[in-house]
Amino acid sequence: MTTSLADVAASGATLRAFLHGLPGVDRVGADQRAAMLGTRSIKTTAKARAIDLAISMV
C-alpha cells in the first residue's frame, strides 16, 4: 500500500501516525559517524555538508 504525501498531511493525526511508524534513529551509530567525519581528511565544504546531514538525522 502506497500512501501519498497529501494523505499523510491531511490531518495532524495522520501525520503523527505516519511519523510514529517510521523506524528510530540509531543515535550511537549517528554519533560515531559524525565523529568519524570530523576526523577525515576531506574538503571543508564536503565535510560541512556531511556533518550537517548527520546532525539533521538525529
Does pTM top 0.85 for this prediction? no
The length of the chain, given as a count of residues: 58
pLDDT at 49: 87
- In DSSP notation, 29-56 reads HHHHHHHHHHHS---HHHHHHHHHHHHH
The number of CA neighbours under 13 Å toward the Cβ of 1 is 3
User: What are the boundaries of each domain within the chain?
Assistant: 24-57
Q: Tell me the one-letter amino acid at 13.
A: A
What nine digits make up the cell of 3? Answer: 500512501
pLDDT by residue (tens digit) across 1-58?
A: 567 878 888 888 888 888 888 888 888 888 888 888 777 676 788 888 888 998 898 8
Residues 36 and 38: their CA atoms lie apart, in Å, by 5
